[in-house]
Structure 1
Amino acid sequence: MSFYNYLFGPKLYMEYKGVPEPQRKMYEPGAVEKFGEQILSTLSVVWSVSYYTSPLIFTFLYRRGYFVADSMPTLAKFTTSVGLIVVISLLMRGVGRRQSKAYTNMVNALVQAKENKSSEPLRRFDIDFTSWPVDFDVKALAGDLKKPTDPVSRREGLSFATLPCELIAYLAINSFGLSMIYPGSVKLLQKFMRPMLIAGRAKLIEDDNGIRYKVKTIDSNEIDTLFIDNRNDNVGNGKTLVICSEGNAGFYEVGIMGTPIALKYSVLGWNHPGFAGSTGSPHPEQDKNAIDAVVRFANNHLGFAIEDIILYGWSIGGFSTLWAASIYPDVKGVILDATFDDVLYLAQPRMPSSLGGIVRVAIRKYCNLNNAELAMKYNGPLLLIRRTEDEIIAEDNRIDTNRGNYLTMSVLKYRYPNLFKAAQLSSTKGLLSKPLESFNYTVAEEKLCMARLITYASDEGKSFPMLIGADYSEEMRNQMALFLLRKHLRDYNSTHCTQLPGEFFSIPWDIPIEHGFVFT
């Protein structure tokens, strides 16, 4: 075994339980490896700080005269000393790892995975995912991999009048703005959460027989995914795959997968670009390429038909989910939990009003997460779940300000324009200002509304917008509007970040087609 593999090999976090090891074990490096690793980690932190403060450091050194000829030998000596420390630390780490049986076993498994293209022995270990071999590469697929035009982008040409504002917006979104929208991409937060992520991943792998895969996108990002296969459970929901898209600080290890797993669905979780084991950054284009690669992986590698896939998104994961639905319209259904209509209306109140114009430009041009527009590109079954105590996408926990209300009305207005006219939209807005449990309809009314929909869809088809109701009375429109609201939206009495109970997760409602059906 080459000593190089020990010098520059990945960090080992854990050995999973199995036949050789009945209990999971966190990897404990020996004293020599630990000392060398601590020095390297300290130097890495110093380098990172120096990189971001380099203008100040260079200015300070220049004023002290360190860039004149007489000071060059001193700088060279300092550089040589640091280099020597790095070399000694690497050697200590390599020697310490070479003495570890666990690390040696991991290196053997890693070499075997890269040589034989088999990752099975490596799956006993939790390692730094950058060294994990790619299990599925989108670019290896035959056919045209070009994506459809982004239906929600607004990229008008530049003008001299708006150039300063657009330049500031660009700098803002690419410095701190994207981190504010996707705090899960901040490395400091990930470092803090690493023990929780390792433990959560271990639970999914050991208790739920999860399998970790690396998926490579068309833009060469590597996406960290984990798959739970329940297809052998003949009495459950295992033939249906639920693809879970997490929130802006969510990770599949501790995220929304638990709900469909408990219901015995097959489940596929993934982390946004720049989150934990996924490379890249959560720019919208990279995120869209990521969810596209995940769906292709599910279809081409795992063997699930598109018609057997449910797309499940929580919070900002609703954008990823709706994008996937817009390019894979034949999915079984879409479930959106605690999702907003447009990120612009969440960003503006959190910034000074004087910066409103810059915020609008930054969002619309560089991070246009407009779920209301994306939802119009998907014609399939859709279920919206609203948190009645939501504190993130509502102001001061007030249900009437929940941005999910606006997404719901936008969807219903687009899909049934003749049923949701001004009067019905006003009434729906009033209903959404309170929990829906206090509004109901009778069994007879439900049967009547369903019969109207089946009749129309059987004769005219059920593509949207559906023009049913042009000749209805106001009373009939009101009745249908309440029925459709209840079919598309469910309330969960909870705050934004709690786990969704299983009773709220179900295959979204759809209008059945009965050819020859006659409403009487």
Structure 2
Amino acid sequence: MIKLLLRCLFSPRLYRIYGQGPGEGIYEPKRTEKFADKIISVVHTIANIGMYTSPIICMYIYKRGFFSWEEINFLAYLFGSISFSYLVRAFGRASNPTYVEFINTLDRPVEDRKAYFESLRKYDFEFNVWPTTFKMPPTSSSSWLENKPFSKCANPDLPYYHRVTIQLLAYIASHTFALRLIYPGTIGIIQNMLWIPLFEGRTYLVDTFNGKRAKILTADRNTIDTMFVDNRLDSPKGKTLVICCEGNTGFYEIGIMTTPIKAGYSTLGWNHPGFGGSTGLPFPRQEQHAIDAVVQYAINDLDFDVENIVMYGWSIGGYPAAWAAVNYPDIKGLILDASFDDLLPLAWNQMPQSWTLLVKEVVRSFVNLNISELLNKYSGPVQLVRRTEDEVICLRPGQLSTNRGNNLLINLLEKRHPYILEDDIMEKVKACTALSDQQRIVLSRENIPDDKRKILQLISKYLRDFRSTHCTLLPEDIFDAVMGSINNSK
């Protein structure tokens, strides 16, 4: 009993046991475990708040002359109470047969790797202790100085003292609040608010589609939370794997995964570094390592040929999707839904004009998400989906002509059909791109010049409009039609 108690002392929280039937399977802790767990959760919350407010707390303690003996005794009593809470929780877990069965499953020797993970996937528990399913070879680490900090400068024409100041401020901003403004899904309070929807979404994927969760170790030693739904035996389309890349507040649990799944395709979802169970932060380099590990996992562990993989990126997820397409040029195709050409114009549009230089430095030096630049390096099939009511990537909400997806399309056409670079043709391309699909259909029925008709055909080849706002899930029939265009492009 003592050995079991020690094993349960710092063991993970158990949330659910799958396969118990609809509405069943939620783990019910005993009263002692539940009470102690609440105390420990409150302490963790206070500790997290204290970490962010530590400078203020330390200054206050210093000014009042540190601690008195009474306060030291109180802190000792507090730590003793917290330690006792861990013991009470361990006792509650050790006396619960359901939890004991779970901990025995987690800790048992791995003789048959496949059978071990299948038995472990019966449970939903804290992901930080989930065993690693797939590992990438580590990259050689380099020190901060070896990476030549501040070697990049987005404003080289500024005077030296001004340039150095902007670079320092950009470094501080990008490593404190700026990245979190770009990726709100990394903010702890948002993840806490979404905990129940994420838990329910994960349950839905496992119970309804037999989803298989896995932890992947990247080359830079972050761990990525993934979910795989295998439709190879259930649908003729299942031999194609769709890898889904979510938006800046998107998680695979409540994101775009369900669209390709319901359309009959095998699907692999993953969370950005710093999202959900994934570690790290979504700086471009970490994003690249993450999607590289996901694709390698799909090829080496899930046994998909690279020619049967489609990258599906929604919104800011277009960046890792496009990066994967460039680095795995033999993939079946690339779908960019509600995505943009470059982060900088959108960032400028959201921030005060007085911050223009700082915003440019932050984006170009630290978060340079330039999807068009990546698309210029990829020659495979591409399909763009544009939301006609998009309120996020339009510089002026509701105005289709300001949708940055237009620029993504124009840059793609410039690369693949260079003749449109002529001034008179480019103006027609811009004008036609600003039209909705219905307007283009009406225009094509009129008596128009051949060059304009050819432009309309090119736009229809790469772009499909969807009448919705930014965050609406793409319907399965539209996704299926997009996949049909990908197949016909091969």
Letter in 2 for 1:361: E
Q: Measure the CA separation in 2 of the matches of 1:88 and 1:100.
A: 19
Q: Measure the CA separation in 2 of the matches of 1:338 and 1:10.
A: 38
Pick closer, same or farther for the CA change 1:410–1:443 going to 2, 3 Å: closer
Match of 2:101 among 96, 105, 117: 105
Q: Give the match for residue 152 of structure 2.
A: 155
What is the SS of the residue equivalent to 1:177? helix
Q: Measure the CA separation in 2 of the matches of 1:485 and 1:308.
A: 26
Q: Which moved more, 1:75-84 or 1:92-101?
A: 75-84
Tell me how far 1:78 sits from its aligned partner. 3.5
Residues 221, 273 of structure 1: 8 Å contact kept: yes
Q: Give the match for residue 7 of structure 1.
A: 9
Pick closer, same or farther for the CA change 1:370–1:318 going to 2, 3 Å: same
Pick closer, same or farther for the CA change 1:104–1:75 going to 2, 3 Å: same
Pick closer, same or farther for the CA change 1:425–1:510 going to 2, 3 Å: farther
Q: Give the match for residue 462 of structure 1.
A: none
What is the SS of the residue equivalent to 1:267? strand
Tell me if 1:236 matches 2:236.
yes
Q: Give the match for residue 462 of structure 2.
A: 488
Letter in 2 for 1:504: I
Q: Give the match for residue 87 of structure 2.
A: 91
Q: Measure the CA separation in 1 of the matches of 2:206 and 2:457.
A: 42
Residues 262, 502 of structure 1: 8 Å contact kept: yes
Q: Give the match for residue 451 of structure 1.
A: none
Q: Measure the CA separation in 2 of the matches of 1:303 and 1:229.
A: 11
Residues 16, 123 of structure 2: 8 Å contact kept: yes
What is the SS of the residue equivalent to 1:378? coil
Residues 31, 92 of structure 2: 8 Å contact kept: yes
Please identify which structure carries the higher helix content.
2
Q: Measure the CA separation in 2 of the matches of 1:154 and 1:500.
A: 42
Q: Give the match for residue 297 of structure 2.
A: 297
Residues 232, 239 of structure 2: 8 Å contact kept: yes
Q: Give the match for residue 198 of structure 2.
A: 197
Pick closer, same or farther for the CA change 1:512–1:274 going to 2, 3 Å: closer
Letter in 2 for 1:305: D
Tell me how far 1:114 sits from its aligned partner. 5.6
Tell me how far 1:27 sits from its aligned partner. 1.7
Tell me if 1:398 matches 2:396.
no
Tell me how far 1:512 sits from its aligned partner. 6.4
Q: Which structure 1 segments of 5+ residues have no match?
A: 147-152, 446-473, 514-520
What is the SS of the residue equivalent to 2:242? strand
Q: Give the match for residue 135 of structure 1.
A: 133
Q: Give the match for residue 428 of structure 2.
A: 427
What is the SS of the residue equivalent to 1:418? helix
Q: Measure the CA separation in 2 of the matches of 1:24 and 1:112.
A: 26
Residues 16, 23 of structure 1: 8 Å contact kept: no
Q: Measure the CA separation in 2 of the matches of 1:348 and 1:441.
A: 35
Counting only pairs closer than 5 Å after superposition, residues 287-326 of structure 1 correspond to structure 2 as 287-326=287-326
What is the SS of the residue equivalent to 1:214? strand
Residues 419, 480 of structure 1: 8 Å contact kept: no
Tell me how far 1:181 sits from its aligned partner. 0.6
Letter in 1 for 2:152: R
Tell me how far 1:107 sits from its aligned partner. 0.6
Q: Give the match for residue 414 of structure 2.
A: 413
Instruction: Tell me how large the CA RMSD over aligned residues is.
Output: 2.5
Q: Give the match for residue 356 of structure 1.
A: 356
Counting only pairs closer than 5 Å after superposition, residues 350-389 of structure 1 correspond to structure 2 as 350-389=350-389
Q: Measure the CA separation in 1 of the matches of 2:24 and 2:178.
A: 39
Q: Measure the CA separation in 2 of the matches of 1:115 and 1:364.
A: 49
What is the SS of the residue equivalent to 2:131? coil
Q: Measure the CA separation in 2 of the matches of 1:408 and 1:154.
A: 32
Q: Deviations over 1:104-138 (max 9, x none)?
A: 12111111266764211111110011111000001
Q: Measure the CA separation in 1 of the matches of 2:439 and 2:25.
A: 51
State the identity as a percent. 41
Residues 205, 211 of structure 1: 8 Å contact kept: yes
Letter in 2 for 1:14: R
How many residue pairs get aligned? The number is 469
Q: Give the match for residue 285 of structure 2.
A: 285
Q: Deviations over 1:289-333 (max 9, x none)?
A: 000000000011111111110000000000010011110111100
Pick closer, same or farther for the CA change 1:123–1:113 going to 2, 3 Å: farther
Tell me if 1:436 matches 2:434.
no
Q: Measure the CA separation in 2 of the matches of 1:52 and 1:210.
A: 37
Residues 154, 364 of structure 1: 8 Å contact kept: no
Tell me how far 1:428 sits from its aligned partner. 2.1
Pick closer, same or farther for the CA change 1:22–1:113 going to 2, 3 Å: farther
TM-score normalized with structure 1 length: 0.85
Q: Which moved more, 1:185-194 or 1:374-383?
A: 185-194
Pick closer, same or farther for the CA change 1:113–1:177 going to 2, 3 Å: farther
Q: Which moved more, 1:52-61 or 1:307-316?
A: 52-61
Q: Give the match for residue 468 of structure 1.
A: none
Counting only pairs closer than 5 Å after superposition, residues 257-268 of structure 1 correspond to structure 2 as 257-268=257-268
Q: Measure the CA separation in 2 of the matches of 1:194 and 1:214.
A: 19
Q: Give the match for residue 469 of structure 1.
A: none
TM-score normalized with structure 2 length: 0.90
Pick closer, same or farther for the CA change 1:402–1:38 going to 2, 3 Å: same
Tell me how far 1:429 sits from its aligned partner. 1.7
Residues 273, 286 of structure 1: 8 Å contact kept: yes
What is the SS of the residue equivalent to 1:162? helix
Letter in 1 for 2:126: D
